[in-house]
Structure 1
Amino acid sequence: MLKIRQFLLFLSLIIIVPNAFGQDEKKSAELKTILDSVAVKFNVKFSYAENDIKGRSIFPPPAKLPLKAQLVYIANRTLLNYKNVGEYIILYSDAKAGKKRCAYIIDEFGSPIDNAVIQLPDNSKIVTRHDGYFEVPQNITGSIFIDHLNFESTSINVKDFGDDCKEVILTLRSLELEELITQRYIATGISKKKDGSFTIKPKKFGILPGLIEPDVLLTMQQLPGIRSIDETVSNINVRGGTHDQNLFLWNGIRLYQTGHFFGLISALNPNLANEIKIFKNGTSAFYGESVSSAVDISSHTPEIGKGNLTVSTNMINADFYTKVKTSEKANFELSARRSFTDVFDFPTYSKYSKRIFQNTVVTSLDNSTDVNYKSDKEFYFYDFTGQYHQKIGQNHNLYVDVIGINNNLDFTQGTINTQTVVTEISSLRQLTLGASAGWKTQWNDTHSSEAGFYTSYYNVDGRNASVESQQIMEQGNSIVDIGFKLSDSRRLSTKYNLHTGYQFNEIGITNSDKVNEPSYSRKEKDVLRNHAVIGELEYDSENARLHARGGLRLNYIEQFSMVYAEPRLQLNYMLAPSWQLEALAEMKSQSTSQVVELQGDFLGIEKRRWVLSDNNELPVQKSRQLSAGVTFKENGWLLSLENFYKKVNGITTGGQGFQDQLELRSDIGSYTVYGTEFLVQKQFNGFYTWLSYSFNNNSYRFDGFSSQKFPSNFEISHTINSAAIYEWNNFKIALGSRWNTGRPVTPPLSSTVGFTSLARPEISYASPNSANIAGFFQVNFSASYIIKATDKSQLQLGISILNIFDRQNIISRYYRINSSNIVEEVNTYALQRTPNALIKFTF
């Protein structure tokens, strides 16, 4: 019955929301009442003489009209005129005032179009602003011409203008259709490109269920085939892969740490990015070091632009971002964010804390029922970025970037033992520092070059001090990654483009352990240097129906004297204006990976360590992937279907996070995954809804353990996501759900503990991953509203609720032996109902 009630509530919101916001008033109303309504809706103030409006009644203007169009609507029906004076709109009688001729320009989905150019018959021009509105002077006759870079041009005769503002709908230009498979993919600001990638434009981002900001690492999990096995951004699984098999780049800097709060919050400030590219397959040959996806985040813009400042806060952190234009050819950008979780304990932090610290040393102290333990924890995080952009001449651009990410946790345990107070302090520190410098040159319309250098540093230190045994264990894991790249692009003809390049990087990884009792220490450092030569050829047919790109990445690892090639292929063919076929293929590799040496590493919160391949016990991982799909788009409908096959060799049991009979083994194997990803989306005006389904069959083979295949730890066989979204002027609301089958688990054969030949207790397990935990279901909500104070400033208010129905979802399970030598079940639960709120001011 609960599920039925949840479904009915979800269905009623889908039906009621668009109707509630989409109805126009049909009855005549007093002018004063209408003006009051317009003032509230657009946050403006009116000034008028009471005698000018007294006794006047008209039909209210349509709700979808922009402010200026509504003013014209009122003026043309009352013969009143209006003008802006300061913060007021003054209405006054003017016998000489004639009726205005105006229009507003929107796209196929009802969104206003800015920067459209209106060419008047006298060769003068008008450019639309954010609301798409423009007026035609009274003395103009003949036809006007409307043009925009991304839309088809059109012309309108002035005679066609009536008493009301004319609605002009522009359709996407055919050139844009060549580059895009679809413009709006599950949300405004997300599109799918013809090269198979997904592009996110944060500045154009609409809204998604549970999200009120364009957080890239949370947004990408809404795409079919991408999700997190434990709902964090530090464990994102793309088509069955592990998180370390994804490549994350920020302005050319590789990031080895992607999350704050140990994965519940993205480490990347949502205010920063200008464009984000996500590749699931068919990756460009310019991306290496990943056998799964590539996520390229860029905040660079070709132009200097204008300065602005954004200050915001939610229930976890406060942040600011500023862009300062120092000259016509230079600017710099600064951002910083810090949590206030060490000062304020809002409900959001409480729910996050409960989620992250369950089943760890922070909250689960051994024998806590027998000893009077007291504990306290203090956690906070911060991040910062700095960017500098300098234009040199007309063709050269210099970019310099820095980034810093930090997590800090201090945990104090105390107890009274034989009238002695014993306290111990444990801690965990995560730090990322990165810098890059890039030079881009546009030699002419057909030739461009780029050179860049980057360095990335990652370090995690943990100190685990036992209040019982006085044992202190210190751990460290650090990475130093430096590299540079050269690339060149030439348009050989109208059909062919050639891209070539060279990349070099050196990675050094250090792992250390130190224990006081029994005394033990180790420190190991490994270094690899990799060279890559890259070539890519793009082809576009004359009729623009076929786009193809073939690439080859030739790698050489110095330490192993290893040379190997990685071919990449992408094909996109337009069967008809509404149908497109796509085929993608790639071979990729990586020499870095994460392993779990002990489940208790780093307080049991950050269990994974980065390691380098040694071409023996830790081989270079290599992947092969094929996919084929079809996309249909017409009349607001979008249907997408894609089938894929992927195999990754060279994985290790330590890299897969086993907590069963394979936990302490060191076997080398592979995983094979195949599946289907489907999306159906319908949109009209400001309302759209979508549903996606993903299926995958993901299995391991470790020949050292068993010659038989068995399910992967990251297999989620079936996933269904859905959302209903409504965008009305500056108001946005989203409601969505996520359901998936439970992940595999290895059950014990008995609750009775067995013993080894050395009389050590052990659990007798069934076949690996032969059972599954219960399915996952969650309903999320978000809403936001923007108040435009002036043309250059606005206030954004937002609210989100994760897990509205407070469903208790199990996301992982393992078994352990308790103090009574009984096998007990340990479950990790997903977030409870978690509210959050946002206030953001931009000017």
Structure 2
Amino acid sequence: MTFGTRHFLLTVFFFFIVPNMFGQDELKSIELKKIMVAIEAQHNVKFSYAENDVVGHSIFPPDPKLPLKAKLVYLTNRTLLYFKENERYISVYTTLIKPKDRHGCAYVVDEVGQPIDNAVIQYNGDRRLVTASDGFFELPAGFKDDVYVTHMGYEAIIVKPNYTPDDDCLEIILKLSPVQLQEVVTERYIATGISKQKDGTYAIKPRKFGILPGLIEPDVLQAMQQLPGINSIDETVSNINVRGGTHDQNLFMWNGIRLFQTGHFFGLISALSPNLAHDIKISKNGTSAFYGESVSSAVDISSRPKDIGTGSTSIGTNMISADFYTKIKASEKANFEVSARRSFTDVLDFPTYSKYSKRIFQNTIVTSLSNSTDVNYKSDKEFYFYDFTTQYHQKIGTKHDLYADVIGISNTLDFTQGTITATNVVTQISTLNQLTLGGTVAWRTQWSKGHSSEASLYASYYNVDGKNASIENNQTIEQQNRILDAGLRFSDNLKLSPKFTLHSGYQYNEIGTENNDRVNQPDYSRNVKEVLRSHAVIGEMEYSPAESRLYARGGLRINYIEQFAMLYAEPRLLVNYQLNNSFKLEALAERKSQTASQIVALQADFLGIEKRRWVLANDNDLPVQKSSQASVGATFKSRRWLVTLDNFYKKVDGITTFGQAFQDQLELTQAKGNYTVYGTEFLIQKQFHDFYAWLSYTWNNNNYRFDGVEPYKFPSSFELSHTVNTAVIYEWDNLKMALGSKWFTGRPYTPPLINTPTYNNVGTASIVYPYPNSENINNFFQVNFSASYTWQLPRKISMQVGVAVQNIFNRQNIINRYYRINNTNDGVEVVNTYSLERTPNALIKFSF
């Protein structure tokens, strides 16, 4: 059986057989006691009854998605037993309530079956009530008149209940409003908890997150790679490529703090705890003018709730790390939030860590997998990471909120080499440490219903410190890269009229970098420090009438860099228009810039691991990077179908060859240039009751142009011409399962012209190459699976367990290829880097 056939049969089984198995169970009559046990587990309640009252009752079970009270009505109608609630206890009686005293009941859901809370129910003229969190409501006994149901963002509906004594609770379905263009344009975009907003951004709410193939937790940096146009060319979260850009061209912010480190374990694990975020916004184009310092995407992560809320705690672990989160309500107007996570990879070696370690350290000195050297020494490595956050929220009066936040991220690698000589034992210890520390204080004021302001101070520190000690020649190389980013922001939001809102602000930023190099043999040292100070004035107008098919936002960001006396403007524009009930059109455009970027050294890297250094623009050989982008798109949504199409064009000027990870004749060439990328992004998604499936396709054409480099135009190192992602997701009650695949064309690389090196006049060997990026490696294909289940335990405790498998079929995918000279036989050898092998993971988490 071929690989493709196995994949097809597995998908068919998951998609068709599994739901039929569940469907067959639902058609069987079940003892009432078993049904009540299932209800107890799902809703965290307890039934109290006499054994003789329930014996002999056998009925079809109610739909698990029904609200608890609706299930009790369902049971009453079929058993003639009366169920009375008292907090979390339900008493069962044989005396049936009289028909004339029965209240009518109903529950309100959206088009995908999710309950709608706070829907307004109007009856008997001006009498009103509001639905509970499960969408449930009751009407007076004997009521049979029309009921008017409304909720912001949905079409109002008139329902005539016509209750009879044998009726179950009525299901009322509300459709999204086609006229009022609300904040949320598309719910459940790829997964529950991901939605597309009217301002063109994608919102992720981890607390409501469903499931994605291969993920057991709501990891924002992994989840965003499922969106069309966003990929990782080497399957890490430290190399996320948005519409052909490099990772450093993305802006990552946590509560206003810019993050220069996004991954643990050299990018295989996100550095952001999945327990935290309340709201995440991802923008690929048409970015708000309040976001600067990026020529690609912006990822804004906010864990600041508007309300104090209640306390909660969670403790969990997977096969890599353990985590803890708690929210403490100090008073009615103050709370603390603390999260912490630490790996135990320095103590326990589970299969997940083994596969991660093999993926990261292949072809490096750490695992001695070099093709050109037969190592005669022993080595050992110790790796661990941790991250933490602390947050404080204080309400002052009724209008003011004070926030204080701190974040820390750390990675540590210790590598020991040893050998026995004729006279003694020789050992050398190498280290590599990454550290991020950040803090911010913000003051938010709601002056009136239509006027608010916010001021904040922030600082972010990033440090990479490494020592590479060679046991062969006693050479020690020490390297360090530091960043200090600090500043202040002020913003004001004023509703000028029911149609127009003015957003304005000012931002000041000072960023400094330091790069140190020290070598003992030969004696060499270098220290470079750079500082840039910039100012930005922002103005943005938003057009958003309450009843209009048109939404528009236009903004202007004016930047001034002190050191270069450089003044320039960045316009931003977004327009979308609702054609009818199903179709929406969207147009976006922007100009953006950034002064901090990364340069990359690969073949001569540190400890064999890719080395990235942050540097600042100097308006000379490192110019300020500037981008221009425009896109048009359309969205179709009807009858649980969702189809989106986006076409985009982007050009980025001011890039350098040192920032593009070349591993061929351009690796040591310094040249300035640009890249131009255009393409299409497509998504189709369908809801089937408890199932939904989606497929996304991205095509792009991405080309470099560098001054003095031949040819004039050639493919980008980050070009993935075709990308296809698929998933089938099943969500039933507390059970979630996802099966999906990822396929994309291989990245470009440069093969040598001949398999033997050439030598110059002084005997230095080199490889002869044709034009850069003239070939592509093999296509990438991977199938992933994940599943989770949540139990409701007594005392409001829930337990979640999850499993995930990446690369189910253990396919050997090449994700990078370069060539080097073999010092043993003086030949040219190929070095392939492979993706993760089949990698299992498991999760258990308690929340209370």
Under a length normalisation based on structure 2, what TM-score does the superposition of the two structures give? 0.95
Cα gap change, 1:397 to 1:665, in 2 (>3 Å): same
Which residue of 2 is the match for residue 484 of structure 1? 488
Task: Compute the displacement of 1:549 (Å).
Answer: 1.4
Contact 1:181 1:580 in 2 (8 A): no
Task: Compute the displacement of 1:824 (Å).
Answer: 0.8
Q: How many residues end up aligned between the 2 structures?
A: 843
Cα gap change, 1:328 to 1:144, in 2 (>3 Å): farther
Which residue of 1 is the match for residue 566 of structure 2? 562
Which residue of 2 is the match for residue 461 of structure 1? 465
- Would you say 1:652 and 2:653 are equivalent positions? no
Letter in 2 for 1:94: T
Which residue of 1 is the match for residue 727 of structure 2? 723
Cα gap change, 1:282 to 1:369, in 2 (>3 Å): closer
Which residue of 1 is the match for residue 108 of structure 2? 105
Which residue of the other structure, out of 825, 829, 835, is the alignment partner of 2:834? 829
3-state DSSP class of the match of 1:391? strand
Cα gap change, 1:602 to 1:84, in 2 (>3 Å): farther
Which residue of 1 is the match for residue 753 of structure 2? 749
In 1, Cα distance between equivalents of 2:289 and 2:729: 36
Which residue of 1 is the match for residue 845 of structure 2? 840
In 2, Cα distance between equivalents of 1:10 and 1:811: 25
Contact 2:721 2:745 in 1 (8 A): yes
Alignment of 1:166-315 (within 5 A): 166-173=170-177, 177-315=181-319
* CA deviation map 1:680-701 (0-9, x unaligned): 1111322211101000111111
Task: Compute the displacement of 1:49 (Å).
Answer: 2.7
In 2, Cα distance between equivalents of 1:535 and 1:550: 9
In 2, Cα distance between equivalents of 1:788 and 1:616: 61
Which residue of 2 is the match for residue 6 of structure 1? 7
Task: Compute the displacement of 1:550 (Å).
Answer: 1.4
Contact 1:24 1:63 in 2 (8 A): no
Cα gap change, 1:802 to 1:598, in 2 (>3 Å): closer
Letter in 2 for 1:219: A
Contact 1:224 1:677 in 2 (8 A): yes
3-state DSSP class of the match of 1:218? helix
Contact 1:43 1:787 in 2 (8 A): no
Which residue of 1 is the match for residue 479 of structure 2? 475
In 2, Cα distance between equivalents of 1:583 and 1:591: 27
- Greater shift in the superposed pair: 260-269 or 90-99: 90-99
Contact 1:372 1:416 in 2 (8 A): no
Which residue of 2 is the match for residue 804 of structure 1? 808
- Would you say 1:334 and 2:338 are equivalent positions? yes
Letter in 2 for 1:61: P
Cα gap change, 1:5 to 1:511, in 2 (>3 Å): same
Which residue of 1 is the match for residue 529 of structure 2? 525
In 1, Cα distance between equivalents of 2:553 and 2:406: 33
- Would you say 1:596 and 2:597 are equivalent positions? no
Which residue of 1 is the match for residue 704 of structure 2? 700
Cα gap change, 1:515 to 1:33, in 2 (>3 Å): closer
In 2, Cα distance between equivalents of 1:130 and 1:213: 24
* CA deviation map 1:364-399 (0-9, x unaligned): 366996553111111110001011111112111111
Which residue of the other structure, out of 804, 815, 821, is the alignment partner of 1:817? 821
Cα gap change, 1:106 to 1:418, in 2 (>3 Å): same
Alignment of 1:619-768 (within 5 A): 619-768=623-772
Letter in 1 for 2:53: D
Letter in 1 for 2:494: R
* CA deviation map 1:482-519 (0-9, x unaligned): 01111112122222221111111000000000011111
Task: Compute the displacement of 1:119 (Å).
Answer: 5.7
Contact 2:42 2:792 in 1 (8 A): no
In 1, Cα distance between equivalents of 2:187 and 2:55: 48
In 1, Cα distance between equivalents of 2:292 and 2:652: 15
Task: Compute the displacement of 1:34 (Å).
Answer: 4.3
Letter in 2 for 1:590: Q
3-state DSSP class of the match of 1:705? coil
3-state DSSP class of the match of 2:607? helix
Which residue of the other structure, out of 609, 619, 635, is the alignment partner of 1:615? 619
Contact 2:180 2:547 in 1 (8 A): no
3-state DSSP class of the match of 2:355? helix
* CA deviation map 1:721-755 (0-9, x unaligned): 01111111211111110000000010011111211
Task: Compute the displacement of 1:713 (Å).
Answer: 0.4
Which residue of 2 is the match for residue 91 of structure 1? 92
Cα gap change, 1:331 to 1:828, in 2 (>3 Å): same
Task: Compute the displacement of 1:82 (Å).
Answer: 2.6
Contact 1:548 1:572 in 2 (8 A): yes
Task: Compute the displacement of 1:601 (Å).
Answer: 3.4
Contact 2:697 2:725 in 1 (8 A): yes
* CA deviation map 1:205-251 (0-9, x unaligned): 11111112211100100000000010000000000000000000000
Point out where structure 1 has 5 or more consecutive residues left out of the alignment. Answer: none
Which residue of 2 is the match for residue 52 of structure 1? 53
Letter in 1 for 2:299: V
Cα gap change, 1:170 to 1:793, in 2 (>3 Å): farther
- Greater shift in the superposed pair: 495-504 or 599-608: 599-608
3-state DSSP class of the match of 2:168? coil
Task: Compute the displacement of 1:715 (Å).
Answer: 0.4
In 1, Cα distance between equivalents of 2:154 and 2:163: 21
3-state DSSP class of the match of 2:273? coil
* CA deviation map 1:580-618 (0-9, x unaligned): 111111111111100024533332324110001111111
Cα gap change, 1:179 to 1:32, in 2 (>3 Å): closer
- Would you say 1:795 and 2:799 are equivalent positions? yes
Letter in 2 for 1:836: N
Which residue of 1 is the match for residue 162 of structure 2? 159
* CA deviation map 1:798-831 (0-9, x unaligned): 1111111111111001111112111111111111
3-state DSSP class of the match of 1:452? strand
Under a length normalisation based on structure 1, what TM-score does the superposition of the two structures give? 0.96
Which residue of the other structure, out of 440, 459, 463, is the alignment partner of 1:436? 440
In 2, Cα distance between equivalents of 1:347 and 1:610: 34
Which residue of 1 is the match for residue 19 of structure 2? 18
Which residue of 2 is the match for residue 131 of structure 1? 134
In 2, Cα distance between equivalents of 1:533 and 1:289: 14
Contact 2:178 2:581 in 1 (8 A): no
3-state DSSP class of the match of 1:576? coil
3-state DSSP class of the match of 2:773? coil
Q: Percent identity, please.
A: 65
3-state DSSP class of the match of 1:221? helix
Cα gap change, 1:693 to 1:585, in 2 (>3 Å): same
Letter in 2 for 1:797: V
- Would you say 1:344 and 2:326 are equivalent positions? no
Task: Compute the displacement of 1:184 (Å).
Answer: 1.7
In 2, Cα distance between equivalents of 1:689 and 1:573: 27
Point out where structure 2 has 5 or more consecutive residues left out of the alignment. Answer: none
In 2, Cα distance between equivalents of 1:212 and 1:546: 39
